Amino acid sequence: MPPRGSRSATTATPSSPKSADAKADANVLARRGSPTVINQQLVPDAPPAMQPSRLSPALKFTALLSLRLAISWAMHTGAEKYGWEEKEALAGVSRHIEDVWTVGAFLAWRVFEVGIIWACGFDYADTAALTTLSHTPHYLLLTAFYNLPPRTALLCIFTDVLALSLPSYLLLPTSTTRTLNSPNRPLATDPFVAFTTSTFAAAVYAVILFASLKTWLGVFLTTRFEGLRSLEAAHAAGLGGCLVVALPLGWCAREFVFTPAVAALPPAPKQAEGAPPPPPPPLEPFDPAAATLGETFVYNLGLRGASPRAKTLLARGALLVGWTSANVFEQVWGSVKGVEPGGAAGWAGLWGAAAAVVVAGLGWIGKV
């Protein structure tokens, strides 16, 4: 019994420094993630390391080209083996390639096609969109004026797109325009914006095609293309039918030009109300060894001081116009019987001009 006058009190035992440190370490580990027990001690798990590609650039390009040729060959061989009844229709209008020089030129163009994708750093979505835009005019010509069945044309387009986009998906990284956390990504991916811009691009293609069919294209095809099966499409074409045909092209044009251009715009710096805008950042020295084909094109045009949106739109737009014209010319003149070089150039120029108007319109919508 304690003596009288003494106070009965409970003495609080102060927490030891070691226990406080242990609690702090536990809180830190809880925030970092699930720990790993090593020798009865908690150690936080390290973030997974990025595994570098084991393929050298030369080997990766070779694999990309080999897969492109192998997929195309397998698709055409499988279609013929399993009852592709319309193969005679395609063979009936195709130019037969026999001499070595023509075969070499054909393979060289395929290498150049893969090289464009490689040099520009396009991913599978860019590749699929560009392939659709540059290969569809050839099969549209065969369907409308050489009586090629539509399902055969669709199968050929699907084969071309798959042969180029699937190797890109397997071997090439995703484009930074789709992974960049840009403040304009919601605008670029908004469903209403996607619908309106795609419809606008499709309408441009449709109006230009319809106007050409009703004015000069019929006479031009008759004088420049031998072996035309029918001109009924030129006389019976309507604006609604042209729009239906152009809808996939409008979507691909938006995906290839508009979306990357809008997503490339950096966030506007915050500034006080009434304050003058900050000066633009200084340009980094141009390195031709590390620059892509699009960056080199922009540099040669003297557009390095332009906004990222303008540079992306101009670079991709110029590539779309040039590649569409060149690829359509190569396909028509190199694979369709009885076509003069001037005829192939005229058909290719029609689609190149349409692509240029589409790019200009999308740039106006995006307010470059």
DSSP 148-191: --HHHHHHHHHHHHHHHHHHHHHHSPPPHHHH---TTHHHHH-H
Q: Which residue has the higher pLDDT, 18 or 135?
A: 135
Q: Which residue has the higher pLDDT, 253 or 100?
A: 253
- Strand partners for 43: 36
Q: Which of 234-238, 296-300, 357-361 has the highest mean pLDDT?
A: 357-361
> What value does the mean pLDDT take over residues 202-219?
95
| pLDDT reported for residue 212 | 96
Percent of the chain with pLDDT over 90: 43
What the block records as the tokens of 66 is 């080999």
Buried/exposed 175-210: b ≥16 CB within 10 Å, e otherwise: bebeeeebebbeebeeeebbeebbbbbbbbbbbbbb
- Torsion sign, CA atoms 333, 339, 343, 348: negative
Please say whether the beta carbons of 159 and 72 come within 8 A: yes
What the block records as the tokens of 43 is 């150690």
| pLDDT reported for residue 293 | 73
Question: How far apart, in whole angstroms, are the C-alpha atoms of residue 69 and residue 105?
Answer: 15
CB within 8 A of 157, min separation 6: which ones?
Answer: 132, 135, 136, 139
- Predicted confidence (pLDDT) at residue 6 exceeds the cutoff of 50: no
The confidence band for 273, taking pLDDT boundaries of 50, 70 and 90, is low
Buried/exposed 239-264: b ≥16 CB within 10 Å, e otherwise: eeebbebbbbbbbbbbbbbbbbbbbb
Does pTM surpass 0.85? no
> Phi, psi (5° rounding) for residue 230?
-160, 145
- Predicted confidence (pLDDT) at residue 168 exceeds the cutoff of 60: yes
Please say whether the beta carbons of 164 and 127 come within 8 A: yes
What letter represents residue 358's amino acid?
V
| pLDDT reported for residue 5 | 45
| pLDDT reported for residue 147 | 87
